[in-house]
């Protein structure tokens, strides 16, 4: 992206300057990039991650008002404590980005029971835990915005990103997004999801050999992987007022992959 267009898009989400955002899994990858993008628009961002040092490094790199807290999305009690700390410090949480996630690859029988339990615990129960902890304060303020990170794998039960079990948890994220949008819309809270295709992050790196990368790009009409900046721009748009009448949607950022 040209610097000029970045400047313009950040001018357009001026309303984010007043907002407080909590991002899960923000120590690296997509979560870190979304946190930085929101902070770039003046948002006060709290980076949370099971990797406390990574989250602290991310917040230091972002600078300004960005802060970091250790938070394991599987740990319901710990999330309650973290959310209370954020509310004590900032008074409210306007934006919740449910980004923390884990991946499983390979055929159906290559995911053992422990790995399946971990997929469910992080990708699904993690969102349950964070929404249950944060939504009451959003309801009290009559305003809020939740953005979940799903995946194109939700549409086909796995495939390019992750296997059937991973895709199944991400399909659950799509259902959570629709159901919460229906229940929370009347309380002033919008809920949407972003479905990336393949992004070159630590999660995918071990699987992205040159030949795999080439094969994936060949299947994508726009001919490249999803960039983190594609996701940051959409997250900022969904989190801000320019998308005020959009809720319950899962938006694929896949260069047309799902059309093929």
Ligand X SMILES: NC(=O)c1ccc[n+]([C@@H]2O[C@H](COP(=O)([O-])OP(=O)(O)OC[C@H]3O[C@@H](n4cnc5c(N)ncnc54)[C@H](O)[C@@H]3O)[C@@H](O)[C@H]2O)c1
Contact residues toward ligand X (CB under 6 A) are 24-25, 27-31, 49-51, 54, 72-74, 99-103, 122, 149, 151, 161, 196, 198-199, 201-204
Q: Which is nearer to ligand X, 111 or 201 (CB)?
A: 201
How far apart are CB 88 and ligand X at their closest, in Å? 21
How far apart are CB 162 and ligand X at their closest, in Å? 7
Q: Distance between CA atoms of 226 and 232, rounded to whole angstroms?
A: 11
Q: Exposed (0-12), middle (13-18) or buried (19+): which is 194, by Cβ within 10 Å?
A: buried
How far apart are CB 126 and ligand X at their closest, in Å? 6
How far apart are CB 11 and ligand X at their closest, in Å? 27
CA proximity to 33, closest of 149, 173, 127? 149
Q: Which is nearer to ligand X, 129 or 243 (CB)?
A: 129
Q: Which two tokens stand for residue 220?
A: 């994508």
| 104: Cα within 13 Å, side-chain hemisphere | 26
Q: Which is nearer to ligand X, 40 or 158 (CB)?
A: 158
CB atoms within 10 A of CB 52: 15
CA proximity to 260, closest of 214, 220, 224, 218? 220
Q: Which is nearer to ligand X, 70 or 143 (CB)?
A: 70
How far apart are CB 204 and ligand X at their closest, in Å? 4
Q: Distance between CA atoms of 251 and 259, rounded to whole angstroms?
A: 13
Residues marked active site are found at: 166
CB atoms within 10 A of CB 153: 26
Q: Which is nearer to ligand X, 103 or 171 (CB)?
A: 103
CB atoms within 10 A of CB 177: 26
């Amino acid at each position: 992206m040209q610097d000029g267009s970045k400047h313009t898009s950040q001018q357009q989400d001026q309303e984010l300057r007043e907002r407080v955002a909590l991002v899960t899994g923000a120590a690296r990858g997509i979560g870190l990039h979304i946190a930085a993008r929101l902070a770039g628009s003046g948002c006060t961002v709290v980076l949370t991650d099971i990797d406390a040092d990574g989250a602290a490094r991310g917040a230091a790199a972002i600078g300004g008002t960005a802060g970091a807290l250790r938070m394991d999305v599987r740990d319901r009690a710990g999330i309650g404590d973290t959310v209370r700390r954020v509310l004590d410090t900032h008074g409210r949480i306007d934006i919740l980005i449910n980004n923390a996630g884990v991946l499983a690859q390979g055929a159906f029988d290559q995911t053992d029971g422990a790995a399946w339990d971990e997929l469910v615990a992080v990708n699904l129960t993690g969102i349950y835990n964070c929404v249950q902890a944060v939504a009451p304060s959003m309801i009290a303020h009559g305003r809020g915005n939740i953005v979940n990170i799903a995946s194109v794998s939700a549409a086909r039960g796995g495939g390019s990103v992750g296997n059937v079990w991973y895709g199944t948890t991400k399909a659950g994220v799509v259902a959570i997004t629709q159901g919460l949008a229906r229940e929370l819309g009347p309380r002033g809270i919008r809920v949407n999801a972003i479905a990336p295709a393949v992004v070159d992050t630590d999660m995918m790196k071990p699987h992205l050999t040159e030949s795999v990368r080439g094969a994936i790009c060949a299947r994508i009409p726009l001919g490249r992987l999803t960039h983190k900046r594609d996701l940051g721009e959409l997250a900022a748009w969904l989190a801000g007022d320019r998308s005020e009448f959009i809720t319950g949607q899962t938006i694929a950022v896949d260069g047309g992959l799902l059309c093929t």
